[in-house]
């Protein structure tokens, strides 16, 4: 069972229905879990309810029957795709977004993604029950991590550097790294904010900027070790060190903290509106991750050894997120890296005890 959350003077009454898009993902499943812990009912969307039917059992076991409803939205780009799912919901935690890291042309990718993002915003505006909408963005929409630079970010900093690099045709695409993906995240969120400022929807609107997400997976048997939590498992298994060595030290957030942050933004008092919230819990590097895992599990053999590429020097405005977590009783602040990694390891250790192979991890993650 999940620890219950209490919200004082909630802006959305308990027992209201909250929509969570992409509810089978690592982050979204924690959003669902924490909303249920706070006394809300949740309607979760997935592309295929048959493949994600385990969610019904998972959340019934954790929170009791008739609190979670699974809804299929097979094609989010289809006209009216959201109309059924959004009916009579009081809040929306929109977690679905682009995941292809190999974007070459961010403007072309923007033209593909933005229409269905705006479609959900417009559907929410047409539904009078919607009081609050949280949009999921990325830390990379703010800046390109570089341990060699001392940078101070603000709430409205944008990653113009990545946009310029991605659009620069004089630079060999192989030299651009993930600038295309970073640029896409920047452009999509910026356009979404432009729509909100222009259309002035009555509901509260906020975006969450997630950096690397680590922590315990709620159902590793069915979810595997997905998303960036899976990269921690790479360190454990000494896999893909070349990829990890290319990633600059930056910030991480624990997945349970992320889930709680959505709850606080959606429903805590006083109302949160028209803000970008940084979900940055603590600095990390893959070298540090390996060091902590070695300390926690000294008997484990075969740990990866990522390069020591330095330490992030970025000043980030993450105090607002910390204060929002405190509204839910999390007075100790963001979850520390060591505790989050221990939860992360708990997920794959449970699979190892069950005899699940590495091949199975990848299959589960792909789903």
| Cβ atoms of residues 345 and 293 within 8 Å | yes
CATH code, residues 17-215+251-284+315-336? 3.40.50.720
Kindly list the domain boundaries of the chain, sorted by start residue: 17-215+251-284+315-336
Output the pLDDT for position 99: 79
Output the pLDDT for position 367: 29
Output the pLDDT for position 366: 31
pLDDT digits (tens, 9 = 90+) for 43-59: 999 999 999 999 999 99
Q: What is the CA radius of gyration of the chain?
A: 20
> What SS3 state is found at 315?
strand
| Cβ atoms of residues 92 and 132 within 8 Å | yes
pLDDT digits (tens, 9 = 90+) for 265-286: 999 999 999 999 999 999 999 9
Distance, CA of 216 to CA of 340 (rounded, Å): 7
pLDDT digits (tens, 9 = 90+) for 143-164: 999 999 999 999 999 999 999 9
The pTM score is: 0.96
pLDDT digits (tens, 9 = 90+) for 337-358: 999 999 999 999 999 998 886 5
What does the pLDDT average to over 16-21? 98
> What SS3 state is found at 360?
helix
- Where do the H-state alpha helices sit in the chain? 26-37, 54-63, 83-86, 106-126, 160-167, 179-199, 220-223, 229-237, 241-246, 255-267, 286-296, 319-327, 337-353, 358-366
Residues 6+ positions from 78 with CB-CB distance below 8 Å? none
Distance, CA of 287 to CA of 201 (rounded, Å): 45
Is the pLDDT confidence value at 1 over 80?
no
Output the pLDDT for position 243: 93
| Cβ atoms of residues 229 and 289 within 8 Å | no
């Amino acid at each position: 069972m999940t620890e219950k959350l209490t919200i004082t003077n909630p802006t959305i009454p308990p027992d209201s229905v909250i929509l969570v898009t992409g509810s089978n993902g690592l982050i979204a499943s924690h959003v669902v879990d924490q909303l249920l812990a706070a006394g809300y009912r949740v309607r979760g969307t997935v592309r295929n309810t048959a493949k994600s039917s385990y969610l019904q059992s998972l959340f019934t076991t954790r929170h009791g029957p008739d609190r979670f409803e699974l809804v299929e939205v097979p094609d989010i780009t289809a006209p009216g795709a959201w109309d059924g799912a959004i009916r009579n919901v009081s809040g929306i935690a929109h977690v679905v977004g682009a995941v292809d890291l190999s974007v070459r042309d961010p403007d072309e990718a923007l033209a593909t993604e933005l229409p269905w993002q705006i479609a959900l915003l417009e559907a929410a505006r047409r539904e009078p029950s919607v009081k609050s909408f949280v949009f999921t963005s990325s830390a990379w929409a703010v800046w390109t991590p570089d341990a060699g630079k001392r940078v101070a970010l603000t709430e409205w900093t944008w990653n113009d550097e990545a946009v310029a690099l991605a659009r620069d045709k004089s630079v060999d695409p192989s030299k651009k790294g993930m600038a295309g993906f970073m640029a896409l995240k920047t452009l999509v969120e910026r356009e979404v904010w432009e729509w909100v400022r222009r259309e002035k929807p009555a509901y509260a609107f906020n975006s969450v900027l997630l950096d690397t997400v680590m922590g315990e997976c709620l159902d590793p048997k069915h979810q595997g070790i997905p998303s960036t939590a899976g990269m921690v498992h790479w360190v454990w298994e000494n896999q893909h060190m070349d990829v990890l060595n290319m990633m600059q030290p930056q910030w991480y957030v624990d997945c349970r903290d992320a889930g709680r942050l959505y709850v606080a933004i959606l429903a805590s008092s006083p109302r949160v509106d028209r803000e970008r919230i940084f979900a940055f819990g603590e600095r990390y590097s893959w070298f540090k991750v390996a060091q902590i895992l070695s300390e926690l599990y000294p008997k484990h053999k075969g740990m990866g050894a990522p390069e020591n590429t330095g330490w992030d020097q970025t000043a980030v405005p993450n105090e607002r997120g910390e204060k929002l977590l405190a509204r839910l009783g999390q007075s100790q602040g963001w979850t520390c890296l060591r505790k989050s990694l221990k939860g992360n390891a708990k997920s794959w250790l449970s699979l190892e005890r069950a005899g699940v192979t590495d091949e199975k991890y990848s299959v589960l993650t792909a789903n």
